[in-house]
Chains A and B, each alone.
Chain A
Amino acid sequence: MSMATTTLQPVERENYLNKEYGALSWLFTTDHKRIALLYLMSITLFFFIGGFFALLIRLELLTPAGDLVQADTYNKLFTMHGMVMVFFFLIPSIPAVLGNFLVPMMIGAKDLAFPRVNLLSWYLYIIGGLMMLHCMLTGGVDTGWTFYTPFSTAFTNTKIVEAGLAIFVAGFSSILTGLNFVVTIHRMRAPGMTWSRLPLFIWAHYATSIIQILGTPVIAITIVLVAVERTLHLGIFDPKLGGDPLLFQHLFWFYSHPAVYIMILPSMGVVTEIIACFARKRIFGYSFVAFSSIAIAVFGFLVWAHHMFVAGISIYAALVFSLLSYAVAVPSAIKVFNWTATLYKGSIHYDAPMLYAFGFIGLFTVGGLTGLFLAALGIDVHVTDTYFVIAHFHYIMVGGALMGYLGGLHFWWPKISGRLYPESWARLAALIVFLGFNLTFFPQFILGYLGMPRRYFQYPQEFQVLNVLSTAGATVLGVGYLLPMMYFLWSMRYGKPAPDNPWNAAGLEWKTTSPPTTFNFEEEPIVTWEAYNYDELDAPRKEGVPIAR
């Protein structure tokens, strides 16, 4: 309640948060901003559940012997960690929270094209999540998140069908979100908001949505096939009955590889927005960044069998997929070059969102380059199914996607909540996350290279030091994740009220109030300026000359 803030907000204006109160007004809302917050709460819950499993895994791996849990239990731990984190945290995270909140505002619309479908998406996510929780509490699954056949269809005694159906339902949530975004971006842009003036966050979400729409149905049908095969004892994937286990892997990875681009593309979009703002510069090579997002989406569908190099596919197919996997790295590299070029001669500010963006660039680059190691057949034969792979994808998903998510939450927090988070704590947390992350996962590259297999709960004595380092890092990382949760909650009550545009950032979302009103804009905006017009925003005010706002 301080009057010493830079803006005066003596009386709280009506906004989307205080327009109506009561649980029903939230549970039956069609406001994309409220739905985004519903997702924020549920996704955070699943993040901590998945994190809990990770903690148990790392505790077991403190010692070489399998002494904390039994082998079967350990199998369940890494399976549940993977399933929860992939399907109930990473895939929805940025699109469902930041995308839902920002896409309409960034294009100047009042809401998404299909607000009721948006609410349905959230309910499907919740139903899938509850099914998964029930499955976990009544025994869980032990096949690995990849539930390969014929173990998952013919041999395991765990609850595959229930877990599969949970993922099936959550998959539809993902499909509908993607559908909503594509239609919204095509149909609901404000006058003057041409494709080449769109924020790159929108391009990233558009590309992500294409993957969600085209890829998710394939894993959906795969789950149906597994469920039917398991229930009726068919032989579609069972070699004893004439089936091919590799067919499952083809169908599974046809989705699950593009799925990793669902996880990273939105994060790249967030990083682009943050870098432009905190370097006070237009993004270098706007069209290249925009088209690279589309290219990643397209190429991402062409590389799936690089997960199957040692599974028994033909060597000729392996060659083709290896080559294509090298190609898919190019658009990602283009983005990294463009971010770097944007930073060059920029006026750089080291606020918390920017720290996360810097972390992203470094860690994503490491993760991406190690992906190229894995795409090389000769290397892959040695490091596949070792901790090298685990380190690789955690660098991208945690060091990349999750850092981008956190950076975005910080960047747009004033807009979402109308409050400022405490900057010093945020910078500290960002640093803790970065250090904890590297301590956790860098040793795993070495472990994998030295030969420690993944999904093993006991290991030879000589690997212990690295494992202990990794677990220590995980503890630090955990602290780094708890801190934002605490100070974000704290800020909702005690944080300084935020001005409409605390960062003086470009983008239509910053022209709404903080927090925005239910329909976002008082008048439909008419866009006459290019994206990232930081040169105009930062130019000294000339008398009588209106800033392009």
Chain B
Amino acid sequence: MPDSTLVGLHHEEEHHPELLHHFADAQQQRDSASLGMWIFLSTEVMFFGGLFCAYLIYRRWYFGDFGAASKSISAALGATNTAVLICSSLTVVLAVWAAQTARRRLLIGSLVITMLLGLTFLGIKGIEYKEKFEEHHVPGASFSFDHVPIPGHPDQYANPRHAEIFFSLYFIMTGLHALHMIIGLGIFAWLLIMAWKGRFTPAYHTPIEIGGLYWHFVDIVWIYLFPLLYLIDRHP
């Protein structure tokens, strides 16, 4: 019967339990997983890209109003969150290195700290959102943004309708980013469970690598969101 002569496995290398049958060898499977995740990240870039396009167009049109709106969100919290994510990216690469070098405790510790940093990020986000809610800057029926001066033009007030557009984009962009963060936490929780069970070895730790790629991407999106949203026109 054909089964035993099926494809490529010349059996010089061991048939790793994680090797899926339609791949010729583990290297092909690893390379496919990696390419697959990179292409998925491309789609995510374009997904956020539409929002960046909308944002840049309106920022150019309503620069003053956007500046006024941006000044009302906390740049300090935004910068802190940026630092938090940068630290989490560090712990992610440490986790990958730990998996590559069979350092189980470092691997689990790094995964845990990554998740804690992610939760910290979401917590700070939550504080920001609460502030906006209390100030009636959440777009919708209860939105108000009256008598807020445009930075650099103290005699002019920002147009509330235009400021509402800023906040719409602010919430949608950071909200979508936070959603991706939550999904990332879910992925890392799963990685943590697998790592705890000892499923990762130097020969097989692809899920950590591609999970890491996803996390770094979420970090990169924030690296752009922070200056664009928080730092429009801050000089006194």
A residues with a Cβ closer than 8 A to B are 109-115, 117, 175, 179-180, 182-183, 186-188, 213-218, 220-222, 224-225, 228-229, 232-236, 241-244, 247, 250-251, 254, 517, 519, 521-524
Contact = CB atoms under 8 A, between A and B. Distances in A.
27 contacts: A109-B22, A110-B7, A114-B32, A179-B40, A187-B32, A213-B43, A216-B43, A217-B49, A218-B47, A221-B47, A225-B172, A228-B168, A232-B140, A233-B140, A234-B164, A234-B168, A241-B165, A242-B162, A243-B165, A247-B54, A251-B53, A251-B54, A254-B50, A517-B2, A519-B2, A519-B6, A522-B6
Given A114-B36, A187-B35, A218-B49, A242 B54 contact: no
A214 B46 CA distance: 6
B57 A244 contact: yes
A115 B6 contact: no
Contacts of A114: 32, 36
Given A235-B161, A241-B161, A221 B51 contact: yes
A267 B54 CA distance: 34
B7 A524 contact: yes
B169 interface: yes
Interface of B: 2, 5-8, 21-24, 28, 31-32, 35-36, 39-40, 42-44, 46-51, 53-54, 57, 61-62, 139-141, 159, 161-162, 164-165, 168-169, 172, 176
Contact of A187 (B28, B57, B139): B28
- The A contact surface, by secondary structure, is helix
B159 A242 contact: yes
A232 B40 contact: no
Contact of B44 (A111, A115, A217): A217
Contacts of B8: 524
A348 to B, nearest CB: 38
Contact of B42 (A113, A213, A234, A524): A213
Q: Which 6 A-B residue pairings sit nearest by Cβ, starting from the closest?
A: A221-B50, A217-B47, A217-B46, A111-B22, A242-B161, A522-B2
Most buried by A among B2, B48, B53, B54: B54
A214 B44 CA distance: 9
B168 A236 contact: yes
B5 A522 contact: yes
Nearest to A216: B43
Main secondary structure on B side of the interface with A: helix
Contacts of A251: 50, 53-54
A508 to B, nearest CB: 13
A253 to B, nearest CB: 12
A523 B35 CA distance: 26
Contact of A188 (B32, B51, B140): B32
A213 B44 CA distance: 9
B7 A523 contact: yes
A188 B28 contact: yes
A524 B57 contact: no
B165 to A, nearest CB: 6
A246 to B, nearest CB: 10
Contacts of B172: 224-225, 228
